[in-house]
Amino acid sequence: MQMLTVFQRELKLGFRNSWTYSFLILFSIFTGAILLLHSSVSSIEGYTNMTGTLMNMTLYLLPLITLLLGSFSITAEKEDGHWGLLATYPLSSVSFFFGKWLGLAIILTTIIFFSFGISGILISIGGQAMNTETFIFFLAFSVLLALTYLSIAFLIGALSKNRWQALIGAIAVWFITIVIWPLLMISLLTQLPSYKLVQPTLQVLTILNPAEFIRVFSMMRLGAGSAFGADYDALITWALSNNGLIIFIIMLIIYVFVTLFISSWIWNRGDKYGAD
């Protein structure tokens, strides 16, 4: 019940926030551009160079938007004193976080739906050809990416004292998990004492980095798994199995839940000490 109240409040605040609409416009332009680009290429289905490029472009922009929107939303509560007011009510930080997450999840999904909707309508009107499955794939890819990064954003928000810290944190996470991830992996893992450790370590770290996890799983589902080589045979077989998709979704849900619980715990702790 408390969660629902927080959720409704978040929706109202979110949709009245001009930031939301700036992101909506930015993401619409972006989605329109990538979908138009994709529809102009002769390739049809499966994973191609174009699919890869567009996935990467989405990976560059969407997590960054999500991290900023999410972490600012949390620190704003702190800075503007809303939480201080809310804390006088019998409201647990867990339901506060889950309510806020749900609210922002709806807002982000709405932004994505709007962008894909308007781009899809433009493509249809313009008479451009576009594979339906590719369209739905990019939609699902974006939504999953946004939802997982939203939970990380909350963690950053809970750890930060103000918007500035949140901004630095968000950019740091974005930079590490997306931009310099391969560089980091290559330079760190080649230091491991045995080469045999590289593959399992990389696999575990990939699962912990939602951007890589979603990207690798998507590529496997699109039939590009063999590009990863023999070392990942078991992973590919799993990803392509009937249960693969379900387990993948469950893992993402667990990821979101765990991150949110940790965030609310940190938030609570900070609150107690902060009050002193």
Partner 1 sequence: MPKRSLIFITLFIAGFLFIAFDEANAQSLQEIIDRAEKGETIQLPDGTYEEPIVIDKPIQLVGSADVVFKVKSDRPAITIKANGATLEQIAVEYESGANDTPAILIQGSQNVIRSVTIETASVGILLDDAHENLLSDISITGDENLPIRERRRGIDLWKADRNTIEHAKISHVEDGIYEEFCEENVFRNNIVTHSRYGYHLMFTERTELYHNESYENISGMMIMGTKETHAYENTLKFNQEDVQSLGLLLYDVYDSRIEHNTIAHNRIGILVEEAYDNEISYNDVTNNFIGLQFKRAENNVITHNAFDANVSQGQAEDSMMNETNANYWSDHHGLDVTGDGMSDLSYHVDPFYMHLANKYPAFRLLFQSPGMIFLDSMMHTPKEEQLVDASPLMENPLSSSETFNEHNTAIAIISTTLFLMSIITIYMGVRQT
- Report 166-195 residues binding partner 1 (CB under 8 A): 178-183, 185-186, 189-190, 195
**N-to-C CA span, the chain:** 30
Asked if 129 interacts with partner 1 (CB under 8 A), we say yes
Task: Among 102, 139, 152, 153, indicate the residue that binds partner 1 (CB under 8 A).
Answer: 139
Site for partner 1 in 217-236 (CB under 8 A): 219, 223-224, 226-233
What's the CA gap between 2 and 166, in Å, rounded? 26
What's the CA gap between 145 and 212, in Å, rounded? 10
Q: How many CA atoms lie within 13 A of 82 on its CB side?
A: 12
Please identify, using beta-carbon distances, which residue of 123 and 150 lies nearer to partner 1. 123
What's the CA gap between 109 and 169, in Å, rounded? 23
Task: Among 11, 91, 167, 266, indicate the residue that binds partner 1 (CB under 8 A).
Answer: 11
Segment near partner 1 (CB under 8 A), from 71-79, 131-139, 155-163, 251-259? 131-139
Asked if 81 interacts with partner 1 (CB under 8 A), we say no
Please identify, using beta-carbon distances, which residue of 203 and 268 lies nearer to partner 1. 203
- Which residues have C-beta within 8 Å of that of residue 36, sequence separation ≥ 6? 119, 122, 123, 126, 128
Asked if 136 interacts with partner 1 (CB under 8 A), we say yes
Q: State the number of binding residues for partner 1 (CB under 8 A).
A: 73
Please identify, using beta-carbon distances, which residue of 96 and 116 lies nearer to partner 1. 116
Asked if 2 interacts with partner 1 (CB under 8 A), we say no
Give me the sign of the Cα torsion angle 144, 150, 153, 158: negative
CB of 137 to partner 1, least distance (A): 12
Task: Among 2, 60, 94, 171, indicate the residue that binds partner 1 (CB under 8 A).
Answer: 60
* Residue pointed to by tokens 């965030």: 263
Asked if 241 interacts with partner 1 (CB under 8 A), we say no
Contact yes or no for 133/45 (Cβ under 8 A): yes
Please identify, using beta-carbon distances, which residue of 126 and 275 lies nearer to partner 1. 126
Please identify, using beta-carbon distances, which residue of 123 and 252 lies nearer to partner 1. 123
Contact yes or no for 7/91 (Cβ under 8 A): no
Which of helix, strand or coil describes residue 120?
helix
- Which residues have C-beta within 8 Å of that of residue 252, sequence separation ≥ 6? 144, 147, 148, 210, 213, 214
Segment near partner 1 (CB under 8 A), from 68-76, 203-211, 243-251, 261-269? 203-211
Site string (27-56) toward partner 1, x via CB under 8 A: --------------xxxx-xxxxx-x---x
What's the CA gap between 85 and 108, in Å, rounded? 26
Please identify, using beta-carbon distances, which residue of 50 and 91 lies nearer to partner 1. 50
Task: Among 91, 94, 117, 163, indicate the residue that binds partner 1 (CB under 8 A).
Answer: 117
Contact yes or no for 121/38 (Cβ under 8 A): no
